[in-house]
Amino acid sequence: MARLPFILLAALVVTVATQTEVKDYLDDHTVDPVINKELEITKNFVRNRKAAMYNYQIASTCLCPMNYLLNGLSIVVFLKMAPKQKQAALLVMIGLCFADAAATTYHIDYVIWANFGWSLMQNTDWGCKFFNWLGVVGSDCSYVFCLLIALERFASVMFPLKVSLWFTKRRVKIAMVAVILIFSSLEMNRFWFFRKALINNVNFCYRSAETSKLSRQLSLGINRILGFLIPWVFICLLNLGIVIRLKQLNMQHQKLGKTDSSHQNNHSLTLMFLSMSIFSLLSRAFDTYNVIHILVIGSNYINDYSKYIISTCLILSGHSLNFVFYTLAGSKFRKTSMEMVCFCKRSTGGPRTFTQRNVEERPPKNPSMNSRHVNNIDISTISQN
């Protein structure tokens, strides 16, 4: 018991020394407030990620099958229209449908991975590289194809007598192949910058950290600016010129009282493209503002998962719903698609009209005609008799 005060004193000295050491350690290792802010942003990002990705999964599950269905129907309708139409823009619209379908490959891959736990893009290294490349090339080509259509429509309303000489089907095919080859080669960097990784026992396709800055700069320069922003600036200018010229032509036709079928056909095709291009531009409004924000300020405007998912779903809608605007604004497209659905064409054995039945059921003429009517008989009728 005599030693107890000395033991308590020693314990007190050790406790004070330990607390002083801990205080000195905390003073020397003060957490940077910037790091605290970044950690808070990361927590919010992770907190919202699950709900945002679930909403994205639902939207992609609805829009991706609709994309392939409607673009497939559009291709069939355009192929049926092509033999009767002289405009080379139909070929570009067919290519646009294929490009829109290719642009949604990584969206449908994510839907497969989210529902079944395995997909080529998330679980294989070559799939991670290939589907990223294919989706971005399809997106780039779809917007440049829209620019080709705008150029053809602009020439058709400004120079109607020369458009068939300038935009031949052969030249349009060469231009489409050139666009595909150019963007396919420019986007080859994704084969090096994307790879599969195992994070927390889950496979992810992601952009490698050591090349992230360079790959993001290339993505901004090629995919966002060259593949999207520049084409849509020119498309807006061309659309403005087309609208002004169409108003002038309509006023001239109303004054002269003309009803030219070729003018109406061009007018319908142009309105169909205008409505589609305006909708596609609006669907990329979020992404357009983000690109301008990066170029002017130097930072992403889309800096949280909610904005990213909204932007992605809008872009997916722009690639999926062109069929609706083809049908609403294009009279030829609407007529051809209705004939396919309702089987109303004569060649498909559709129901006969009242006029057809009257002509077919009309009794044959009496062969015993007087001489003054013989000269009016058709040659084919004589040969048949």
Residue 358 pLDDT grade (very low, low, confident, very high; cuts 50, 70, 90):
very low
- pTM value > 0.85: no
Residue 290 pLDDT grade (very low, low, confident, very high; cuts 50, 70, 90):
confident
- State the Cα–Cα distance between residues 96 and 89, nearest whole angstrom: 10
Amino acid, res. 63: L
Mean pLDDT throughout 47-75?
Answer: 85
Domains of the chain: 47-344 (1.20.1070.10)
| Cβ-contact 93, 348 below 8 angstroms | no
Mean pLDDT throughout 66-89?
Answer: 86
Residue 203 backbone dihedrals phi, psi, to 5 degrees: -80, 135
Mean pLDDT throughout 193-221?
Answer: 78
Residue 243 pLDDT grade (very low, low, confident, very high; cuts 50, 70, 90):
confident
Residue 4 pLDDT grade (very low, low, confident, very high; cuts 50, 70, 90):
very low
Average per-residue pLDDT for the chain:
75
For residues 26 and 198, the model is more confident at 198
pLDDT exceeds 50 at position 15: no
- State the Cα–Cα distance between residues 356 and 361, nearest whole angstrom: 8
DSSP letters along 66-95, please? HHHHHHHHHHHHHHHHGGG---THHHHHHH
Per-residue pLDDT, 174: 94
